[in-house]
């Protein structure tokens, strides 16, 4: 190495080379083992979820339903009426062609329903009409289940394409995984019909995933045309050394508005070393967005914000060479490149929502996440 007119030599011994090679090989093996472990874990989780959903979907036999009618016709009528109210309440969310796909659902009650109606005609003709109503309702439930499964799968695919593990999103939104039909008994012993339970699982899973969509950064916090520095290694603007830049810089005039990149809860408002005035928003799933160098705040801790809300103004506080916004996306504390989210997420998420948009019978002005 030549330095200030002097030449220095560094000797790399054979022992040092062997040690470096061993360390490199060990690190590579550890990485391979880790990746294989993750792949196996994801496969097992997928298989277990599939088995659970299939166990939940069981077709009640005609004999069991006949016993229910025979023992308490009034209770059966009440069950059917409760079912119908529930179905009426969610029918507007269905695409126009969902019933046409009913034959592809996870269970098919048509055969047992036809058998039950035949049995009723012979020994209990007063209940034939009710059995026919139940048959139509169960067909609708099975179609709804298929719809929810397909919609959840499409949402899961969209989330995974952005580099986010859908299981993390599901875990963060487990509050949405309730039992929407727990009070809807429809068996002779007061238990819930398995097909309604299966529908409840599918709808809850769909809701949890779709709630996660809104928490993914998808709105530019400032003008995209003003990005002055990208994510990754760069020359430090103060000392010229190579340094990691953990976000995007948006240059702009002092006081220009800064927008929340996604809905979430404001978890920090204050100063951080080097960042100056900072706002952080928690979006669940271990994800936060950080907005730095602000000249002023327009929010406070605990505020629930929507994507696009103004949360502050561009400034030059902290370690800054001029007015700009430093924007970061962090997942479980690790900084990731925000650009794929901001540039790809809007199209990916819009496509996921548009595929299952409600048909024209939906109530005007109603809001949908699908």
Q: Are residues 110 and 170 in the same domain?
A: yes
Q: Are residues 61 and 209 in the same domain?
A: yes
Distance of alpha carbon 213 from alpha carbon 156, whole angstroms: 9
Assigned domain for 351 exists: no
154 to 106, 175, 307, 356: CA distances (angstroms): 17, 21, 22, 9
Assigned domain for 36 exists: no
Please say whether the beta carbons of 209 and 199 come within 8 A.
no
Q: Are residues 148 and 242 in the same domain?
A: no
Please say whether the beta carbons of 117 and 171 come within 8 A.
no
In the predicted structure, residue 336 carries a pLDDT above the cut 80: yes
Reported as type and span, the H/E element at residue 29 is: helix 14-56
Q: Are residues 253 and 310 in the same domain?
A: yes
More confident residue, 183 or 138: 138
Structure tokens belonging to residue 17: 């080379």
Contacts of 62 (CB under 8 A, 6+ apart): 112, 113, 115, 116, 119
The structural domain count of the chain equals: 2
Distance of alpha carbon 67 from alpha carbon 60, whole angstroms: 12
Percent of the chain with pLDDT over 90: 21
Is the model's pTM score more than 0.75?
no
128 to 42, 123, 125: CA distances (angstroms): 48, 10, 5
Q: Are residues 112 and 162 in the same domain?
A: yes
Confidence band for 266, pLDDT divided at 50, 70 and 90: very high
71 to 66, 105, 231, 340: CA distances (angstroms): 9, 31, 69, 61
Mean pLDDT confidence for 243-269: 92
Beta strands at 257-259 and 264-272: parallel, antiparallel or unpaired: unpaired
Contacts of 250 (CB under 8 A, 6+ apart): 221, 222, 223, 224, 226, 227, 228, 314, 324, 325, 327
10 Å CB burial of residue 292 (0-12, 13-18, 19+) is buried
- The pLDDT mean for the chain works out to 75
Q: Are residues 238 and 204 in the same domain?
A: no
Assigned domain for 333 exists: yes
Q: Are residues 291 and 154 in the same domain?
A: no
Assigned domain for 346 exists: no
Assigned domain for 23 exists: no
pLDDT tens-place string over residues 175-225: 544 444 544 445 555 556 777 778 888 888 888 888 777 788 888 999 877
Last residue of a domain, one of 213, 242, 260: 213
Assigned domain for 26 exists: no
Last residue of a domain, one of 213, 235, 258: 213
Q: Are residues 245 and 125 in the same domain?
A: no
Assigned domain for 257 exists: yes
pLDDT tens-place string over residues 16-75: 677 666 666 666 666 655 655 555 565 566 556 656 666 556 666 776 766 766 666 667
Assigned domain for 173 exists: yes
Q: Are residues 69 and 209 in the same domain?
A: yes
CA-based end-to-end distance of the chain: 62
Q: Are residues 206 and 271 in the same domain?
A: no
Q: Are residues 152 and 197 in the same domain?
A: yes
Query: Following CA atoms 40, 42, 43, 49 in sequence, which dihedral angle do they give, to the nearest 10 degrees?
Result: 140
Reported in sequence order, the residue ranges of the chain that DSSP labels E, i.e. its strands, are 2-3, 6-7, 227-229, 232-235, 242-245, 248-251, 257-259, 264-272, 276-284, 287-292, 296-297, 304-305, 310-313, 324-331, 334-336
Nearest to 315 by CA among 358, 370, 278, 267: 278
Structural domain containing residue 144 = 57-213
Q: CATH number of the domain that 333 lies in?
A: 2.70.70.10
Model pLDDT, residue 360 = 39
In the predicted structure, residue 288 carries a pLDDT above the cut 50: yes
| CB crowding 205-235: b at 16 or more within 10 Å, else e | bbbbbbbbbbbbbbbbbbeeebbeeebeeee
Token pair 């939940």 is found at 56
Last residue of a domain, one of 192, 213, 234: 213
Q: Are residues 69 and 207 in the same domain?
A: yes
Query: Following CA atoms 51, 168, 358, 98 in sequence, which dihedral angle do they give, to the nearest 10 degrees?
Result: -10
pLDDT tens-place string over residues 82-120: 777 777 666 556 665 555 454 556 677 778 878 887 887
Token pair 């039909």 is found at 181
Please say whether the beta carbons of 345 and 338 come within 8 A.
no
Mean pLDDT confidence for 130-143: 79
Token pair 């928690």 is found at 282
């Amino acid at each position: 190495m030549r330095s200030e007119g002097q030449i220095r030599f560094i000797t790399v011994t054979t022992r040092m080379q062997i040690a470096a090679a061993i360390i490199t090989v060990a690190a590579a093996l550890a990485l391979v083992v880790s990746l294989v472990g993750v792949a196996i874990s994801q496969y097992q989780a997928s298989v277990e979820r599939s088995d659970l959903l299939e166990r939940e979907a069981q077709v009640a036999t005609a004999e069991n339903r006949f016993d229910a009618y025979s023992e308490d016709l009034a209770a059966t009528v009440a069950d059917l009426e409760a079912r119908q109210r529930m179905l009426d309440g969610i029918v507007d969310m269905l695409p126009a062609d969902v019933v046409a796909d009913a034959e592809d659902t996870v269970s098919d009650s048509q055969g047992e329903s036809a058998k039950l109606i035949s049995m009723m005609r012979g020994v209990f003709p007063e209940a034939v009409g009710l059995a026919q109503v139940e048959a139509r309702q169960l067909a609708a439930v099975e179609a709804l289940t298929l719809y929810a499964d397909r919609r959840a799968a499409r949402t899961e695919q969209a989330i995974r394409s952005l580099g986010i593990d859908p299981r993390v999103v599901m875990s963060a939104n487990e509050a949405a995984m309730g039992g929407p039909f727990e009070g809807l008994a429809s068996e002779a012993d007061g238990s819930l019909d398995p097909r309604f339970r299966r529908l409840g699982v599918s709808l809850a899973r769909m809701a949890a995933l779709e709630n996660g969509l809104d928490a993914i950064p998808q709105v530019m916090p400032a003008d995209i045309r003003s990005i002055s520095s990208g994510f990754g290694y760069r020359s430090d603007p103060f000392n010229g050394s190579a340094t990691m830049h953990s976000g995007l810089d948006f240059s702009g005039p002092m006081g220009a508005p800064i927008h929340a990149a996604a809905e979430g809860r404001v978890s920090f408002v204050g100063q951080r070393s080097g960042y100056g005035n900072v706002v952080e928003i928690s979006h669940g799933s271990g994800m936060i967005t950080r907005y730095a160098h602000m000249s002023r705040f327009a929010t406070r801790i605990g505020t629930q914000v929507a994507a696009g809300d103004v949360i502050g103004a561009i400034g030059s506080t902290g370690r800054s060479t001029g007015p700009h916004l430093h924007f970061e996306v962090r997942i479980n504390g690790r900084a990731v490149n925000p650009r794929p989210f901001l540039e790809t997420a809007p199209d990916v998420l819009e496509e996921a929502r548009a595929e299952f948009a409600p048909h024209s019978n939906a109530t005007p002005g109603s809001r949908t996440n699908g």
